Structure 1
Amino acid sequence: MGYLLWIFGFIGAHRFYYGRQITGVIWFFTLGLLFVGWIIDLLLIPGMARDADHRYDSGETDYDLAWILLTFLGVFGIHRFYMGKIFTGLLYLLTLGLFGIGVLYDFLTLNGQIDDLNRRRH
């Protein structure tokens, strides 16, 4: 999944996926540090994946599917419907992801949201 999101890494998608929000925001606003950092990240993905595997609990809500839905359909709130957040899913659908701000918020917090859902269900 990290490699798929790396394709969009110049906006920081893979960094957000691996729980690296600060550098994700930096990549988002600098186009992956003018694409240089984006290329270097291709070599760093295995290490980021190992760190993320230790940090987040797997469970009923799948991280990969939620990230695919956020990355490609986030403005429509499909990832929120998937997580069972119907009200905010409808809100995103009607406001195009709260005018993009909600989508950026979810890039920053999606791993934590899924981790909370999975912990509550265990």
Structure 2
Amino acid sequence: MLLCIFLGGLGVHRFYAGKAGTGIVWLLTAGCLGIGWIVDIIMIATGSFRDINNRPILNWE
């Protein structure tokens, strides 16, 4: 969650989750102009954001 909040515009949380393709998109578009960044924060907070192996990334891990 903290990676997404503080470095989400750079896509660091997506690289951490193993999603390098979308991490590069986030890096080049500043988190898809901020909208995708906010969506990812909400998804992590609700427990619906998943890593490359389809495991949920929870906000307390």
TM-score (norm 1): 0.40
Q: What runs of 5+ residues in structure 1 fail to find an aligned partner? A: 1-66
Query: In the TM superposition, what is the alpha-carbon distance from 1:90 to its structure 2 partner?
Result: 0.2
Structure of greater Rg: 1
Query: In the TM superposition, what is the alpha-carbon distance from 1:114 to its structure 2 partner?
Result: 3.6
The percentage of aligned residue pairs carrying the same residue is 42
Q: Which residue of 1 aligns with 2:25?
A: 91
SS state of the match for residue 48, structure 2? helix
TM-score (norm 2): 0.75
| C-alpha separation in 1, matches of 2:24 and 2:55 | 19
RMSD: 1.6
Q: What runs of 5+ residues in structure 2 fail to find an aligned partner? A: 57-61
List 4+ stretches of structure 1 deviating above 3 A: none
Paired positions, count: 52
Q: Which has the higher helix share?
A: 1
How do 1:3-18 and structure 2 match up within 5 A?
none
SS state of the match for residue 112, structure 1? coil
Relative CO higher for 1 or 2, CA cutoff 8 Å, sep ≥ 6? 2
1:43-75 Cα shifts (integer Å, max 9, x gaps): xxxxxxxxxxxxxxxxxxxxxxxx111010000
* Structure 2 residue identity aligned to 1:87: G
Query: In the TM superposition, what is the alpha-carbon distance from 1:79 to its structure 2 partner?
Result: 0.1
